[in-house]
Structure 1
Amino acid sequence: MKRTSILFAILCAAAGLAQAQQPTQQEPAPAPQAEAAAPAKSEPIVPGSAQPGPAAEQLIVTDNKIGKGAEATVGATVYMHYTGWLYRPLAKNQRGRQFDSSLPRGEPLDFKLGSGKVIKGWDQGIVGMKVGGKRTLIIPAELAYGARAMGGIPANSALIFDVELMDVK
């Protein structure tokens, strides 16, 4: 790995903690229902006052562009560009506050797919992509960081990522 990002470090730490604390499950537990809808605008996160957004009930994978290159399979090293936001279904494009992106760094994130080095929503949502493909992943809290707050991400937050598969090795 040439460079690590804040998100990659967070993803690694979260994946390691999740594996150590919970037994592996085939089916993710359904997310709790949100009691109130999120506001239509993004709100700044003030330390100590962050509230989780509405729940996403399951991993939602949307192909925005189908790639034509090699396919991402479990065990392969994938090279991904990404941008991550808090999931806010009533906000423009369902995106709340952006918390990380590989694009300004200019170098994709690389990791071994299916090895638990990233959040479960990524390990599940990237399988089957082809190089050149672009996807949007809406990830429920259970497949992200769960009940733990992580950096600027409140506990029990659903996330949304735009990902692009740059290479597979």
Structure 2
Amino acid sequence: MERRTIIVVVLSALAIAVAAVVGAGSKDSASTTASTQALDTAPATSTAAAAPVDVPAAIAKKPVPSIPGGNPPKTLVSRDIVVGAGAAAKSGDPLTMRYLGVDWTTKKVFDASWNRDPNEFQFTLGAGNVIPCWDEGVVGMKVGGRRQLTCPPDTAYGANGQGSIGPNATLVFVVDLLKVG
């Protein structure tokens, strides 16, 4: 119950932030020079999701984010790991996704839909149901794709943090787009 409340609060904050930055941001390519981190997963609570969807082999396994050394970026970084071949996500589309979220500094997984059954997550892109990083970083992603989003605090949970996520945390998500519509 507490996790659902957190998600609602985060999504509300995301909607406000997205409205402020729509069309004003830019996306940079992420550096892939750092080593990939092996991560421990934390348990997560179950939430309702859509019926299972066919998953392309390229995104069928749980991802491992690549977090470069050094300081985190100051702007959203969106990098395709696997480019999908299906429909492209646009604002207003209902999406079905999977995700794994890691704190840049601690390299610890703070949440992952992969840890639930079913493991899909649904939201409407651009409706403020998720943090601004997602509403901005998922636009244009195609079904069957996998993307890494590096989210500075102002596009994530900001100075307040959320649950186990500390204040001003930079977050890294690997997201898979399973379905548009």
SS at match of 1:96: coil
For this pair of structures, how many residues does the alignment match?
Answer: 138
Moved over 2 A (4+): 8-12, 17-28
Query: CA, structure 1 residues 25+167, in 2 after alignment: closer, same or farther (shift >3 Å)?
Result: closer
Q: Which residue of 2 aligns with 1:127?
A: 139
Unaligned runs of 5+ in 2: 26-36, 40-70
2:79–2:148 CA contact under 8 A, matched in 1:
yes
CA distance in 2 between partners of 1:125 and 1:22 (Å) = 11
Give 1:149 deviation, angstroms: 2.0
TM-score normalized by the length of structure 2: 0.66
Residue 167 of structure 1: aligned partner: 179
Give RMSD over aligned pairs.
Answer: 3.0
How has the CA–CA distance of structure 1 residues 18 and 111 changed in structure 2, closer, same or farther, with 3 Å as cutoff?
closer
CA deviation vs aligned residue, 1:91-130 (integer Å, no higher than 9, x gap): xxxx711000001213311000001110000000000011
The verdict on how the C-alpha distance between 1:11 and 1:133 changes in structure 2, with shifts beyond 3 A counting, is: same
Match of 1:14 among 10, 13, 16: 10
Name the SS of the counterpart of 1:147 in structure 2: helix
| Structure 1 residues without counterparts, runs of 5 or longer | 29-39, 43-53, 89-94
TM-score (structure 1 length as normaliser): 0.71
Match of 2:130 in 1: 118
Q: Quickly say closer, same or farther: Cα 1:5–1:75, change in 2 above 3 A.
A: farther
Q: Of 73, 88, 93, which residue of structure 2 is paired with 1:56?
A: 73
What aligned pairs does 1:1-169 form with structure 2 within 5 A after superposition?
A: 6=3, 9-17=5-13, 24-26=20-22, 27=24, 55-88=72-105, 96-105=107-116, 106-169=118-181
Contact 2:18 2:126 in 1 (8 A): no
Q: What CA distance in whole angstroms lies between the structure 2 residues aligned with 1:18 and 1:144? A: 8
